[in-house]
Amino acid sequence: MYKIETKKNIAENIFLMDVEAPYIAKSALPGQFVIVHSHEKSERIPLTICDFDKTKGTVTLVIQVLGASSKKICEKNQGEYFADITGPLGNPSEFINYSDDELKSKKILFIAGGLGSAPVYPQVKWLGLHNAKPDVIIGAKNKNLMIFENEMKPFAENVFAATDDGSYGFKGLVTDMFEDLINNRGKKYDEVIAIGPMIMMKFVSLTTKKYNIKTTVSLNSIMVDGTGMCGACRVNIGGETKFTCVDGPEFNGHLVDFDEALRRQSMYKNHEYQANCKCI
């Protein structure tokens, strides 16, 4: 059993939970994820680790209410327990293998869309603590859905906000913000790491390819069981079949077949609709 130490509502239908999991906290690295069982017979839900505290023995999870299973997770309250949390799983971010000199010499830009700010945060924090402060673009539909902006600022060189409706920061998509930085503000980047909705990562990758900038994306949103056995997270990476949960979740964005990944992501929409109807 894994105790929920704190629970906060950080935006509409988005909750942050610190969960007691000392062994996971001790081993976790940026880019990895866990599998959560809200109760003994619940669905396996993969969630990227948003943060971890080795001293307190806690991991931080951010969950958005999207379907029946995420709703059940978010209905849990502080002091209650999850039946099980398995992890850390997946491969950590590539940059943790860079030397200090490589980290200092590289100019990295993170592009976070929506809930993608949660998995971007531990990566930005890790780099900041290793004296390699990156730039960050955080995109959201509106100001009320902007998360982790203030948390990232101590670890980033610059944090740029972009909203679709212009209610906060730059008005436009994250790709518009990226091109504005490159073409109008004289910014240059060696690497872009994009995490967010699949369609956002597709267009970020298409945009960065024009500038020949190495781009990494996280495909955690199509994972189901988190072990590679179900096959639901198969993706085409440069013509090769990979499994997001065991080979990723991060891949070269310029090699991902996003159209196939988008089709795979929609496989369970009807099942989710039926499950939601039962929950109402």
81 lies in which domain range?
A: 2-89
Task: Give pLDDT tens digits for 102-117.
Answer: 998 999 999 999 999 9
Identify whether residues 45 and 31 lie together within a single domain.
yes
Longest dimension (CA), the chain: 55
pLDDT of residue 275: 44
Claim to verify: residue 30 and residue 112 sit in the same structural domain: no
Residue 163 lies in a domain: yes
Task: Judge if 75 and 100 occupy the same domain.
Answer: no
Token reading at 8? 């906060």
Same domain (yes/no): 214, 98: yes
pLDDT computed for residue 272 by the predictor = 45
Confidence of residue 267 (pLDDT cuts 50, 70, 90): low
Provide CB contacts within 8 A for 277, sequence distance 6+.
Answer: none
Do 98 and 77 lie in one domain? The reply is no
Question: What is the edge-to-edge ordering of all strands in the sheet holding 81-82?
Answer: 51-53, 58-64, 14-20, 2-11, 81-82
* Span 29-41, average pLDDT: 90
Task: Please give the pLDDT value at position 271.
Answer: 45
Q: How many domains does the chain have?
A: 2
Q: Is residue 129 part of a domain?
A: yes
- What percentage of the chain has pLDDT greater than the value 70? 93
Q: Which residues are CB-contacts of 137 (< 8 A; sequence separation ≥ 6)?
A: 109, 110, 111, 112, 160, 161, 162, 174, 177, 178, 181
The DSSP 8-state label assigned to residue 228 in this structure reads: S
Same domain, 55 and 141: no
Confidence tier at 269 by pLDDT (50, 70, 90): low
- 57 contacts 20 by C-beta, under 8 angstroms: yes
Poorest-pLDDT segment among 4-18, 30-44, 47-61, 97-111? 30-44
CATH number of the domain bearing residue 131:
3.40.50.80
Angle of the 174-184 helix axis to the 198-210 helix axis, nearest 10: 20
Q: Sorting pLDDT into bands at 50, 70 and 90, what band is 268?
A: low
CATH number of the domain to which 73 belongs: 2.40.30.10
Same domain, 141 and 171: yes
One-letter-per-residue 3-state SS of 35-68: EEECCCCCCCEEEECCEEECCCCEEEEEEECCCH
How confident is the model over 205-219, as pLDDT tens digits?
999 999 999 999 999
Q: Let me know: does 234 contact 243? Beta carbons within 8 Å.
A: yes
Instruction: Note whether residue 264 is domain-resident.
Output: no
Alpha-carbon span 90 to 193, nearest angstrom: 17
pLDDT tens digit string along 164-200?
999 999 999 999 999 999 999 999 999 999 999 999 9
Phi, psi of 244, deg, nearest 5 = -55, -45
Quick one: pLDDT at residue 273?
Answer: 40
In terms of DSSP H, where are the helices of the chain? Answer: 22-27, 68-74, 100-105, 117-129, 149-152, 174-184, 198-210, 244-247, 258-265, 269-279
> What's the whole-model pTM score?
0.92
Mean pLDDT of 250-254: 97
Residues 103 and 33 in one domain: no
**Do 130 and 44 share a structural domain?**
no
